[in-house]
């Protein structure tokens, strides 16, 4: 059991960092201090008390990333209730289902999303609050929430006659063994389950992050990944708030122009991202330079290549604000070519590994210790790993983990809980890979996506896709099996096609050439029979993994 209590981490942080800026809503240019956030949390605690919210009650939260989102999350868990964050990209039926399945009694929601929901389908809710100003959007007939809200200022003045101060920060006694968070997964397999995470699971991630020396009190971070996802929630919100760091919430879709401008202005000290962001930067900013004939010649000249790589590294660092210690990549596998190039130019990045069921971190290496192809060493003294294989160093098997970060199970789903744990208590990750002597993890693919070829060989589609995505005019790809043959579905990079003046009619011939080229890089049992053009981008999860289950029958 982790020694530090999860709730006490925030009680201490609000007292110790009272005057410091905590959150900035970047698109609105508004900032609130730790003291101001603590005051809003106190108001919500008072409201919860008046509404007779009990410890362990569920409160759902859905809306875009913002200081309000974080304030509600912290108010719920520090009161002793259970927070249920819901991804705002979920469709209304999924949101209805999660609210009902979690047995949430209250909902904090953006006005836009509330307008898309149907009140009669969430009839068990006692009340609904706007996430932007905490006004009451809906109350059950027997409730008097609007009346209580009108009286809240007076009740705050009565409770804190001298004003709310840091000495008034007092949070609920919640043991680390208690569930504080129900996090509904949104994986690539199409099933959403409520992961029960305890204070200990979350404290495990936070206390480990403290040993890494990558973010410190008063420093800045830019959050552009959805907070309702475990990865972003832990490292763009819970960790910096516990450390006294200052988080800027982008508050809009991270289009390249918007994101690069925000990096320039915020100049973050640590960057948390998913592979797609770095892959796009590589493809748009770096690859065109490397493909120039003069550049290819220059890179063959000894000593000159190091100077060119240093120049590219500097340009890339400047584009990301030029002030960070490290870029941490997680949430999905990164393209092998991009990984190797960034490593070659000594760009300070690393790739970690985790899953919602581990709140989320399983393995990590500092960028100086990072080994290409790996996703870090399992967290020392917190997690352990094994491979379900006769030779875990050489023969691929399922990655299984146990330790402080592992969930209690799936809410109201004993069958799924039983199925995800081995008889001796290890969590089955569903990922396939190997480890080395230092317990550094190397992922090959997903158990559910692995394809068994006609001659009995294991094919990992992610590895083929990684190679396909580096070929001309390929924006993204998906490898599927049809009648014993491997088919590559490709969504073309139409911007690149149009910029070169190539006709869209020529794409079929180009993809036939791409098919020949990629097969030169593949083993005989991995060969692609055909590339088919796909008309739109593939639908993705919030962490930008393709929802594969939607394309099995294509």
Q: Residue 509 maps to which CATH number?
A: 3.30.300.30
Q: Which of 546, 541, 549, 550 is nearest to 186 (CA)?
A: 541
Pair (428, 545) in one structural domain? no
Quote the CA–CA distance of 393 and 317 in Å, as a whole number: 35
- Residue 442 and residue 465 in one domain: no
In a domain, 1, yes or no: no
pLDDT at residue 488 above 80? yes
Residue 101 falls within a domain, yes or no? yes
- What DSSP string runs through 55-116? TT-EEEEESSSSHHHHHHHHHHHHHT-EEEEE-TTS-HHHHHHHHHHHTEEEEEE-HHHHHH
Residues 425-437 pLDDT 10s: 999 998 999 999 9
How many structural domains is the chain composed of?
A: 3
Domain end point (choices 426, 446, 466): 446
Q: Are residues 317 and 222 in the same domain?
A: no
With cut-offs at 50, 70 and 90, classify the pLDDT of residue 543.
Answer: low
Highest mean pLDDT among 70-74, 529-533, 542-546: 70-74
Q: How many other C-beta atoms lie within 10 A of the C-beta of residue 138?
A: 17
* Residue 309 belongs to domain with CATH number: 3.40.50.12780
Same domain, 178 and 309: no
The torsion angles phi and psi of 278, rounded to 5 degrees, stand at: -65, -35
Token code pair at residue 471: 């070929």
Query: What's the whole-number mean pLDDT along residues 387-399?
Result: 95
54 and 150 within one domain: yes
537 plus 475 within the same structural domain = yes
Please state the pTM of the whole predicted model: 0.85
In a domain, 143, yes or no: yes
Q: How many CB atoms lie within 10 A of CB 500?
A: 9
Residue 66, domain member (yes or no): yes
Residue where a domain stops, chosen among 382, 417, 446: 446
- Nearest-angstrom CA–CA distance, 355 and 333: 13
User: Within this chain, do residues 22 and 108 fall inside the same structural domain, yes or no?
Assistant: yes
Looking at the fold, whether 387 and 496 belong to one and the same domain comes out as: no
With a CB cutoff of 8 Å and minimum separation 6, the contacts of 398 are 387, 388, 389, 428, 429, 430, 431, 432, 447
CA distances from 473 to 256, 520, 539 (A): 19, 18, 19
Query: For residue 124, which phi and psi values (nearest 5 degrees)?
Result: -80, -10
How far, in Å, CA of 497 to CA of 474, rounded?
10
The percent helix, strand, coil of the chain (3-state, each to 5) is 40, 25, 40
Report the pLDDT averaged over residues 453-468. Answer: 78
**348 is a domain residue:** yes
CA 298 to chain centre: 39
> Using one digit for the tens of pLDDT, what is the confidence trace for 92-137?
988 999 999 999 999 999 999 999 999 999 999 999 999 999 999 9
> Which of 215, 248, 281 represents a domain boundary (last residue)?
248
89, with CB counted inside 10 A (0-12, 13-18, 19+), is: middle
- Residue 516 inside a domain? The answer is yes
Nearest to 230 by CA among 204, 255, 250: 204
User: How far apart (Å, rounded) are the C-alpha atoms in residues 541 and 530?
Assistant: 26
Domain that holds residue 305: 249-446
């Amino acid at each position: 059991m982790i020694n530090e209590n999860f709730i006490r981490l925030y009680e201490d942080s609000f007292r110790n960092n009272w005057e410091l800026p905590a959150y900035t809503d970047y698109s609105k240019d508004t900032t609130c201090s730790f003291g101001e956030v603590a005051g809003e949390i106190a108001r919500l605690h008072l409201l919860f008390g008046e509404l007779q919210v009990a410890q362990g009650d569920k409160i759902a939260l859905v809306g875009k990333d913002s200081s309000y989102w974080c304030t509600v999350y912290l108010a719920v868990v520090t009161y002793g209730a259970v927070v249920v964050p819901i991804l705002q990209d979920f469709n209304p039926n999924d949101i209805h289902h999660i609210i009902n399945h979690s047995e949430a009694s209250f909902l904090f929601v953006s006005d836009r999303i509330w307008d898309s929901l149907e009140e009669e389908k969430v009839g068990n809710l006692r009340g609904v609050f706007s996430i932007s100003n905490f006004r009451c959007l809906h109350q059950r007939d027997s409730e008097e929430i609007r009346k209580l809200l009108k009286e809240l200022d007076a009740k705050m003045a009565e409770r804190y006659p001298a004003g709310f101060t840091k000495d008034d920060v007092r949070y609920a006694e919640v043991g680390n063994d208690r569930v504080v968070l129900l996090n509904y997964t949104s994986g690539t397999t199409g099933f959403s389950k409520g992961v029960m995470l305890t204070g200990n699971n979350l404290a495990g991630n936070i206390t480990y992050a403290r040993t890494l020396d990558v973010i410190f009190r008063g420093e800045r971070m830019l959050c552009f990944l959805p907070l309702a996802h475990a990865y972003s929630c832990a490292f763009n919100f819970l960790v910096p708030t516990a450390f006294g760091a200052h988080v800027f919430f982008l508050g809009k879709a991270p289009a390249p122009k918007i994101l690069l401008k925000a990096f320039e202005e915020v100049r973050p000290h640590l960057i948390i991202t998913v592979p797609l962001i770095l892959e796009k930067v590589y493809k748009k900013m770096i690859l065109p330079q490397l493909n120039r004939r003069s550049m290819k010649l220059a890179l063959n000249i000894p000593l000159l290549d190091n100077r060119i790589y240093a120049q590219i590294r500097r340009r890339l660092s400047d584009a990301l604000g030029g002030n960070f210690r490290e870029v941490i990549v997680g949430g999905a596998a990164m393209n092998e070519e991009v990984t190797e190039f960034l490593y070659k130019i000594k760009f300070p990045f690393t790739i970690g590994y985790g899953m919602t069921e581990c709140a989320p971190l399983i393995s990590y290496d500092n960028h100086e210790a990072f080994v290409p192809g790996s996703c870090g060493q399992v967290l020392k003294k917190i997690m352990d790993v094994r491979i379900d294989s006769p030779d875990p160093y050489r023969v691929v098997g399922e990655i299984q983990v146990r330790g402080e970060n592992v969930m209690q199970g799936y809410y109201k789903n004993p069958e799924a809980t039983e199925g995800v744990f081995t008889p001796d208590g290890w969590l089955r990750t569903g990922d396939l890979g190997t480890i080395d002597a230092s317990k550094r993890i190397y992922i090959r693919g997903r158990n559910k996506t692995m394809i068994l070829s006609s001659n009995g060989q294991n094919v990992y589609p992610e590895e083929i896709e990684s190679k396909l995505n580096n070929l001309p005019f390929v924006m993204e790809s998906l490898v599927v099996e049809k009648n014993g043959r491997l088919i590559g579905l490709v969504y073309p990079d139409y911007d690149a096609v149009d910029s070169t003046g190539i006709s869209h009619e020529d794409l079929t011939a180009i993809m036939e050439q791409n098919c020949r080229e990629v097969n030169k890089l593949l083993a005989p049992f991995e060969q692609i029979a055909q590339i088919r053009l796909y008309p739109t981008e593939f639908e993705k999860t919030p962490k930008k993994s393709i929802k594969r289950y939607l394309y099995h029958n294509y």
